[in-house]
Structure 1
Amino acid sequence: MNLTVFGATGGIGREIVRQALDAGHQVTAVVRDPSRLDLRGDALEVFPADLTDPQRLGGAVAGRDAVLSGLGARGRKNAGDATRLTRTVLRAMEAEGVRRLLVVSAAPVGPAPQDDGAVDRGMRGLVSAILKDIYADLREMEAELARSSTDWTSVRPPRLQDKPLTGRYRTVVGGFPTKGRFIARADVAHAMLSMIDDEGTVKQGVGVAY
């Protein structure tokens, strides 16, 4: 497949690029600073862009089979980035007639498991209160997706870890795995790539966790 990856120098974005290249895909990595991307390959195109101009991004998404985004706020001071940047990506995709989009959100944005225990409910409530601005941003981002004409999927992980790829995790379409407290960034990337052709995840939030 011919893929475009936004946020390609971030923890999840870089893993998407690496795994996609390993799987034999053609990859366009959209980055603000090309020097921060240390991946190389004949199938990799590095596309410098500041993500403020949908017309500029048209060349990065035109003719692609799917777009995958690891964009989001890096902290509470940057809350609002996920919505703003994703809106620009959506405009570029819609202008070029590209439909498939997968983005990273977060577990608290979606519904909690019906059989969550008291510990998990408490942790979820505490984290949601501390990071309320970030989660408000992600909810608005998902609202932008729902208003778009794209075939989107929002992947909602819990606490992220920098650990090796396992390929073993649980997913719940429209919900979240019970007692799903952690997942490696590498496995989030793996899940996103595996969902590209999964019609059951289109226009859905998908919880993913160990």
Structure 2
Amino acid sequence: MKTIALIGATGRTGQLFLEKALSAGYAVKALVRAPEKLKLRHPKLNLIEGSVLNEETVELVVQNTDIVVSLFGHVKGSPDGLQTQGTKLIIKAMKAHGIRRIISLSGGGLPYPEKDQPKFADKLIRFIMGIAVPKILKDAKDHHLILEKSGLDWIIVRGPRLTDEPEKGNYRVGWVGVNASTKIGRADLADFILRQLEDKTYIRQMPFVSY
């Protein structure tokens, strides 16, 4: 069974993904800034304390793994280019250790012109994001560009508004404005991410997961 390098294990989606991955039999090396925030302990879980912006700790979590799952995001006080800078270090470590696959999490505000067909409401949301959180939106776009240029087998999973509702086990995979709705539960989003560990359908694409 594969070993996962998990970045962002203490977030709400990250914790749900971690539980699912361990239950499915995967081993996980998780990079966490504050280990005390993660109550889960498991024989196949190796916690590494540190920052995604620290090259040494990123390399430590990535080495001797098979796939990277990047679920970290902006919190209060995060630097503007957090996702881009962290992803650069992850890519560098992956190439150094011969790891090809990475799954990264982003939002529906990240455009994918090749597949998206945004409706008026989608365009309005993106317009508002461009005004309200322009630096975060730019960071998401920049992180996509460096993944695209990396030559790696990347997937960027996008979602709309995230909720904490119970897992339904039933959701749609499409694109913004195509076979899509306005929300997804974190548990179902974590389920989709887990499935991408073995599924190659969406390599070098940005699927949008919703109910």
Q: How does the TM-score come out when normalised to structure 1?
A: 0.89
CA contact (8 A) 2:48 2:57 kept: no
Q: Share of identical aligned residues, percent?
A: 30
Partner of 2:163: 161
Corresponding residue SS for 1:201 = coil
Corresponding residue SS for 1:27 = strand
Displacement of 1:118: 3.4
Partner of 1:138: 140
Pick which of 123-132 and 179-188 moved more.
Answer: 123-132
Partner of 1:49: 50
Partner of 1:94: 95
CA deviations on 1:81-136 (whole Å, 9 max, x unpaired) are 1111111111111111111100011112124743x543444344323432222111
Q: 2 CA distance for matches of 1:33 and 1:77?
A: 15
Q: Larger % of helix: which?
A: 1
Pick which of 45-54 and 1-10 moved more.
Answer: 45-54
Displacement of 1:4: 1.4
Q: 2 CA distance for matches of 1:203 and 1:179?
A: 20
Matched, 1:59 2:73: no
Displacement of 1:178: 4.1
Displacement of 1:203: 1.2
Structure 2 CA distance for partners of 1:97 and 1:157, relative to 1, 3 Å: same
Q: 1 CA distance for matches of 2:66 and 2:78?
A: 34
Q: How many residues align?
A: 207
CA contact (8 A) 1:55 1:92 kept: no
CA contact (8 A) 1:5 1:16 kept: no
Corresponding residue SS for 2:96 = helix
CA contact (8 A) 2:163 2:186 kept: yes
Matched, 1:203 2:174: no
CA contact (8 A) 2:5 2:29 kept: yes
Q: 1 CA distance for matches of 2:34 and 2:193?
A: 24
Q: Which runs of 5+ in 2 are unaligned?
A: none
Q: How does the TM-score come out when normalised to structure 2?
A: 0.88
Corresponding residue SS for 2:156 = strand
Displacement of 1:77: 6.0
CA deviations on 1:29-87 (whole Å, 9 max, x unpaired) are 11112111111111111111222333433232223221101112125864311111111
Partner of 2:5: 4
Matched, 1:79 2:80: yes
Matched, 1:109 2:110: yes
Matched, 1:186 2:178: no
Corresponding residue SS for 1:122 = helix
CA contact (8 A) 1:76 1:134 kept: no
